[in-house]
Amino acid sequence: MRIFITSFLMISVLIGCNKTERPLSQIGFVTLPEGWIQPQVEYVNDVVHILYYLGDAGGGDLFYTNYDVEKGNFAKSKRVNHQDSVAIAAGTIRGGQLAVATDGTVHVLWNGSGASAIRVNDSLRHTPLHYSRMLPGRSFEYERNLIDQAWGLDGGSDITVDEKGRVFVAWHGKGKQKGENYRRVYMRSSEDGGQDFSKERAVNDEEAGVCGCCGLHINVDNANAPTIIYRSATGGKSRDIRMLSLNPAGGVDDDHVVDKWELDACPMSSINSTVNADALWLTWEKEGKIFYRGKETGLPIHSPQSQGEGAKHSKIVKSDSGYTLVCWTEGTGWNRGGNLAWELTDPDGQVIESGKRERAIEVWDFPAVAYAGEGQFLIFH
């Protein structure tokens, strides 16, 4: 059995002439066991919840566990999928997604692999969108497909849950015609914690298109309103980051461009967000650099000062007091691992700590972040 060591950077900052001390911030680095890749992490009810991938890149399995911050160890893992090897890691953005409700229900969503029964038995070889949940004290339910007609999965899907236990699922698939500029963002929701889901519906601007091999991201803000962040393919050449805002009832309020990017290619990119006491914050990549900003229109766009070339797959977490941790990969690509990098800033945007770990990211892998309260940040890799 391997021994896992969590190292911490202890950070305190003095400001002003009176030397008033800001709250202590610390970054803990958690090295995952060998073979565990693509971690998804949530901190809910004082528990660190982890979803990870294990197996061949073209067909593997998803597992769920908890991490004990004080003891530095992992609980016994539970396999999510019942069919063997029905998840996929190749491409980095098609793997499992995690959402944990306040009642302890664990929700998992993922793009199906070629071993999925629905692909094996379907003459058109449609890729399913698998969903499973684990109620408190139970095992994971047998996975089910959530796509009825909106087939055409390529890039990633995502799932989130609000404080009322409502579940929201998003993915992008084919539109009325072939081509990325006709792709649509689709959504289903559940009012009963994942037992039943509404009919699928297209929710994004029909003229926007969607970058086929790019991921999307869904989260709920402090008003329990879902927000979907995706990369467009307008006219087949525009790879803008767009933000799709829905109201708490699920109706579409707005779909606008956050950051423009003229590119006639698929960057195979990912998107992430976090919610603290004040707002929802999102992070994305463009031209080998990482960017982040708050949800509200007009807020400035930030970019980590310490990042190198080839930055991708950024993750963000923000404390209620306004400290921001962003981490990302550098040098990763198709069938290629790379470096882990991070930057922690104070509420004024001043860099407290930044760093890099060479060759810390495996092939098809990315890091994950969490904020465990009392100034304690965690990076999993």
In a domain, 1, yes or no: no
| pLDDT single digits (tens) 158-215 | 999 999 999 999 999 999 999 999 999 999 999 999 999 999 999 999 999 999 999 9
Q: Where are the beta strands (DSSP E) in 45-139?
A: 47-56, 59-68, 73-74, 78-79, 97-100, 106-111, 129-134
Of residues 249 and 82, more confidence is placed in: 82
Residue 5 in any domain: the answer is no
Residue 297 binned pLDDT confidence (cut-offs 50, 70, 90): confident
Q: How far is CA 84 from the centre of its chain?
A: 24
Let me know if residue 370 belongs to a domain. Answer: no
Section 98-112 average pLDDT: 98
CA 369 to chain centroid: 10
Q: Which residues contact 28 (CB under 8 A, 6 or more apart)?
A: 6, 7, 8, 69, 376, 377, 378, 379
Distance CA 322, CA 371 (A): 12
Residue 55 included in any domain:
yes
| Residue in 258, 326, 255, 268 with CA at minimum distance from that of residue 90 | 268
Which region holds residue 215: left if phi is over 0, alpha if psi is between -120 and 50, else beta? beta
Q: Which of 24, 30, 17, 46 is nearest to 104 (CA)?
A: 46
CA 227, chain centre distance (Å): 13
Max intra-chain CA distance, the chain: 73
Distances (CA, A) of 379 to 41, 55, 293: 10, 22, 20
User: Is the model's pLDDT at 101 over the cut of 60?
Assistant: yes
User: Which strands make up the sheet holding 338-345, listed edge to edge?
Assistant: 311-318, 324-330, 338-345, 351-361
The SS3 of residue 9 is strand
Q: Where do we find the tokens 């953005």? A: 93
CATH number of the domain that residue 125 is part of = 2.120.10.10
What is the pTM (predicted TM-score) of this model? 0.93
Residue 368 is assigned to a structural domain of this protein: no
For residue 128, the enclosing domain spans 38-338
Residue 269 lies in a domain: yes
Residue 372: predicted pLDDT: 95
Domains contained in the chain, number:
1
User: Among the listed ranges 14-18, 136-140, 299-303, which one has the minimum average pLDDT value?
Assistant: 14-18
pLDDT band at 291 (very low <50, low <70, confident <90, very high): very high
Question: pLDDT tens digits, residue range 334-355?
Answer: 999 999 999 999 999 999 999 9
Residue 86 lies in a domain: yes
Q: What percentage of the chain exceeds 70 in pLDDT?
A: 92
Both tokens of 80, joined, read 């999510």
Intra-chain end-to-end CA distance of the chain, in Å: 18
Label residue 49 exposed, middle or buried (CB < 10 Å: 0-12, 13-18, 19+).
buried
Backbone angles phi, psi at 370, to 5 degrees: -150, 155
Contact (Cβ atoms closer than 8 angstroms) between residue 367 and residue 379: yes
- Mean pLDDT throughout 279-286? 96
Spatial distance between the Cα atoms of 130 and 146, rounded to a whole number of angstroms: 6
Over range 132-152, report the average pLDDT: 96
Q: How would you classify the pairing of strands 324-330 and 338-345?
A: antiparallel
Residue 176 domain-assigned (yes or no): yes
